[in-house]
Amino acid sequence: MSSPSTPTRRSFLAALGTGAAVGSAGCTAFGDDPARSDYPEGVRFDAGWPTARHDDANTAAVLGEDGPTDGTVEWRTDFAVGPGVRPLVANGHLLVADDVLRVLDVEGGAVQWSAPLPEGVSPAVLDGTVYVPEATDDPALVQYALDDGTENGRIALPARPTTPPAFSNDRETAFVAVDGGEVCAVDLSSGTVEWTREVPGEVRVPLAVNLGVVVAATTTGEVHCLTTTGEQFWWRNVHARMEGPPVLGDRRVYVGGLERSLRALDRQNGSLVWEADDDVTPFDEAVAFDGRHLYTGGGSVQAVDAATGEVAWSWQPDGGSVRCSPAVVGETLVVSGQAHSGHESADLGLVAGLDPTGGELLSGPERWRVELGNYAGHAVAAGVGRVFVRVSSVDGKPRVVAIR
């Protein structure tokens, strides 16, 4: 099931050269013991939130930025957004992709430019360029200048894209899953497809990429680990439809399945390290990961020990629930959902900042909260001292709200 050799972390970092901006495993966020942290070495600490789960390893954790301190609502969009919106933040811009891609100023929410998004998949931002997968009869990876929306190129794809692009550590290659159960690698400098690799089952959730490997999770319950040159490294069937993206740690790969279980696989060979108890329920199976814990948001917040799969602590608002893909911002865990207002038909949307260590025994993890609209969620993005969340309002027009 596995190949006899693997690209090592140190050899890959050496290949990147001394000019590469990389983090290191064992970041000391939240006082983690470096020996226990599984945060992926090599992940680029780009400011903002340039992909749906912050980075190409899908950690949903931006450890180098400060998040909101008191939960003040700063502004909200003047246009409604659909249910699947996942905001992105890059270079002082907020990206909101629905049937239209809108790029806003993060300071006040003014729309700076927009472009149609026909049957598109969530975009990603790299080095001032927005890469938009276009799932049409002429499938392509379309490139826009982030600052002004100028279309700078179109890279033809072999089939309709089903995932956002994920990028290699050297930022020279983009990896995209396409219809037909294939993963392809695109050379960004030449604009050509370098290779395609067939994987049984469709890939509908973002790929995870870091230090020489690409991890794809399929609708048929298989997890495939490829090398960045397209070779099969290992695969494993976990017998569960993958509804959320895999998270690529330094030593383990974390996956969640439709039956709402969470598993850790050995990064070297795909063997099962642990399987969490049935009561661990990631919402949409998208989790946040700071190296020591995985944070779920499926009714309550649960901090799952990355080494053992045991629940370290949990939290739920009184009379309410958390329904979100959480985000770690600096030393704050940000979650969203619904708070009970005391009236049967008038529950409130909730965004809360929590202590990722679980807080003190008596006070609990909650640091701040803001209640607005009638539902908040489910994807959280962060950047420039703010978090951005889709909030359903009483007028029936959901909007993206900026909180700091």
Q: In the prediction, which pLDDT does 16 show?
A: 38
> Would you say residue 222 has pLDDT above 60?
yes
Phi-psi region for residue 309, left (φ > 0), alpha (ψ -120 to 50) or beta?
A: left
Per-residue pLDDT, averaged over 60-85, amounts to 90
Neighbours of 180 (CB within 10 A): 14
% residues pLDDT > 90 (the chain) = 65
Which has more confidence, 69 or 6?
69
Task: Report pLDDT for 99.
Answer: 87
Give all strands of the β-sheet with 232-237 in edge-to-edge order.
208-210, 213-217, 222-227, 232-237
Q: Is the pLDDT of residue 340 over 80?
A: no
Which pLDDT score is estimated for 280? 76
Q: State mean pLDDT over 316-321.
A: 87
Token readout for 230 is 């397209």
Q: How confident is the model at residue 46 (pLDDT cuts 50, 70, 90)?
A: low
In a domain, residue 1? The reply is no
φ, ψ (nearest 5 deg) of residue 295: -110, 125
Residue 2, domain member (yes or no): no
Question: 154 in a domain, yes or no?
Answer: yes
Q: Given this model, what pLDDT does residue 9 score?
A: 47
pLDDT at 30: 40
Inside any domain, residue 106: yes
Instruction: Read off the pLDDT band of 278 (50, 70, 90).
Output: confident
Give domain status of residue 3, yes or no: no
The per-residue pLDDT for 18 is: 31
| 100 within a domain of the structure (yes/no) | yes
Q: CATH no. for residue 384?
A: 2.130.10.10
Specify which of 63-77, 91-105, 369-383 reaches the highest per-range mean pLDDT.
91-105
Mean pLDDT in the chain? 86
265 in a structural domain: yes
Q: Which pLDDT score, from 0 to 100, does residue 32 have?
A: 43
Query: What mean pLDDT is predicted for residues 327-343?
Result: 86
Q: Hey, how many other C-beta atoms are within 10 angstroms of the C-beta on 135? A: 18
Q: What does the pLDDT look like over 83-142, one tens digit per residue?
A: 878 899 999 999 999 889 999 999 999 999 999 887 768 999 999 999 999 999 999 999
Residue 283 DSSP class:
G
Structure tokens at 332: 């704050």
- Say whether pLDDT at 31 is over 60: no
Q: Domain residues for 253? A: 9-403
Would you state the pLDDT for residue 198?
96
Give a yes or no: residue 206 inside a domain: yes
Q: How confident is the model at residue 239 (pLDDT cuts 50, 70, 90)?
A: confident
Q: Does 246 have pLDDT greater than 60?
A: yes
Q: How far is CA 305 from CA 56, 164, 290, 313, 334, in A?
A: 22, 28, 11, 9, 18
Whether residue 352 has pLDDT greater than 60: yes
The mean pLDDT value for 134-152 works out to: 96
pTM for the structure as a whole? 0.89
> What confidence category does residue 207 fall into, taking pLDDT thresholds of 50, 70 and 90?
very high
What was the pLDDT predicted at 67? 87
Which has more confidence, 344 or 288?
288
Average pLDDT over residues 243-256: 94
**Higher pLDDT residue, 242 or 265?**
265
- The tally of domains found in the chain comes to 1
